Amino acid sequence: MIKVAIMGYGTVGSGVYEVIRTNEKSIDKKVGQKLRIKYVLDLREFPDDPVMEVLTHDFEDIINDEEVRIVAEVMGGLHPAYEFTKRCLETGKSVCTSNKELVAEYGAELIQIAKDHQVNYLFEASVGGGIPIIRPLNSSLTADVILEVSGILNGTTNYMLTKMDREGLEYLDVLKEAQDKGYAELHPEADVEGWDACRKIAILTSLASGNQVDYRDIYTEGITKITSEDFLYAKKLNRSVKLLAISRKVGDTYCAMVSPALVHREHPLYVVNDVFNAVFVKGNMLGNSMFYGSGAGKLPTASAVAGDMVDAARHLGKIITLFWDPEKLELAPVEQMNRRFFIRVKSDAEPEKLFGDGERIHAGISGEIGFITPVMTEAEYAEKAKDAQIISMIRVEG
């Protein structure tokens, strides 16, 4: 029998408990022996919840128990999750996590510590919730050079943008609704400012390149400035606004960015709505491939954590190789990225004079017009935009 522990009994932690208890028989079959929860660590009490039978408030109970071979870290945040994870790995316990902040910040180091102690640090749930994407990148697509890994990586903002598109609502109204429904946090900055998607694309780029990507190096723009007027233009263009996280191979490195983008109706990411996520992967041999599913939520995320625990149980004493070295990858400057830009300017402006031949769009908004520039680099756009008295800009995808 393999004994496991869960650190954190919040949304994901209670989900992991539920997945393991509900699917006990089939999990045992897949592991080849019984897998049972010995501890759940949380500071709170949960009266009338069966979890009380295994609840502990003391991390030392887990660390000092040699029977515990696998630990799910679903506490979130950097501290004490980092210290707890490190001590678990150093004492020969594999750790499975959904904690993207921790993976983005300390992934390479924790993978190395795991390796040094013949255990595994697994993090399928850290990107795309329940969508299998870490494992495919790490094991199925290893014969390919990854040319691009991009997608919609944040469920909360995708839900909000879908609502704005379908119902013509303003940003603050959909934010309130998302908060009422429990999708968005009371302090929603991590989602709406793009920080969550930034950490996730940093993790994916680290795996695609095999080196540590510092998420602080990734240009990140959130959705807080998107308005209902932007969607009027988007509709005229047969497009919608999505928060895209993009990472493309440039020479020996990658260029990565998170920002809202106008996505055409025929683009595969256009149909990714509500809290769903999708990750698009382009390999030099594979061509295009897309991974789609529930990007957030209790059970989808818990399913990925529990799946990692099964994998860890099947590999006790063996290392699952991960290609993620601590050596830092210097990203290509985002200024080199090429694309078209959608701008809103006053109706008497002459954007062609600054930007060259483009496409004018009228969405029936008095006093202004929309304009799509020709393809240019971010640097060229920034230079020309200085004199253009732009009301707002959204990047154009494809």
Residues that bind ligand HSE (CB under 6 A): 129, 154-156, 191, 196, 295-296
Looking at beta carbons only, is 105 or 196 nearer to ligand HSE? 196
C-alpha to C-alpha distance for 343 and 381, rounded to whole angstroms = 11
Name which of 191 and 308 has its Cβ closer to ligand HSE: 191
Active site residue 242: no
- Catalytic residue (choose from 38, 200, 249, 298): 200
Pairing of strands 219-220, 253-264: parallel
Closest distance to ligand HSE from the beta carbon of 98 (Å): 7
CA angle 297, 299, 305 (to 5 degrees): 100
The number of beta carbons lying within 10 Å of the beta carbon of residue 26 is: 10
By beta-carbon proximity to ligand HSE, the closer residue of 31 and 243 is 243
Helices (H), 271-377: 298-314, 351-355
Rounded CA-CA distance 293/193 in Å is 22
Strand residue runs (E) in the chain: 2-7, 35-41, 55-56, 68-73, 94-97, 121-122, 146-152, 211-212, 219-220, 239-250, 253-264, 276-283, 287-294, 325-328, 338-346, 359-361, 368-372, 376-377, 392-397
Nearer to ligand HSE, 101 or 230 (CB): 101
Cβ–Cβ under 8 Å, residues 35 and 27:
yes
Rg of the chain (C-alpha set): 23
Residue (of 266, 264, 265, 247) closest to 256 by Cα position? 247
Q: What are phi and psi of 280, to 5 degrees?
A: -100, 130
Q: Tokens 């020479």: give the residue.
A: 251
Distance (Å, whole) CA 287 – CA 281: 8
Identity of residue 284: N
State in angstroms the smallest separation of the CB of 256 from ligand HSE.
Answer: 18
Contact criterion met (CB below 8 Å) for 332 and 255: yes
Listed residue (35, 100, 97) closest to 68, CA to CA: 35
Nearer to ligand HSE, 93 or 100 (CB): 100
- How many H helices and E strands in the chain? 14, 19
Q: Which is nearer to ligand HSE, 223 or 309 (CB)?
A: 223
* Residues 396 and 339 sit within 8 Å (Cβ to Cβ): yes
Smallest distance from ligand HSE to CB 104, Å: 12
| Beta carbon of residue 160, minimum distance to ligand HSE (angstroms, whole number) | 10
Q: Which one, 156 or 220, has the nearer CB to ligand HSE?
A: 156
Q: Looking at the annotation, which residues are catalytic?
A: 200
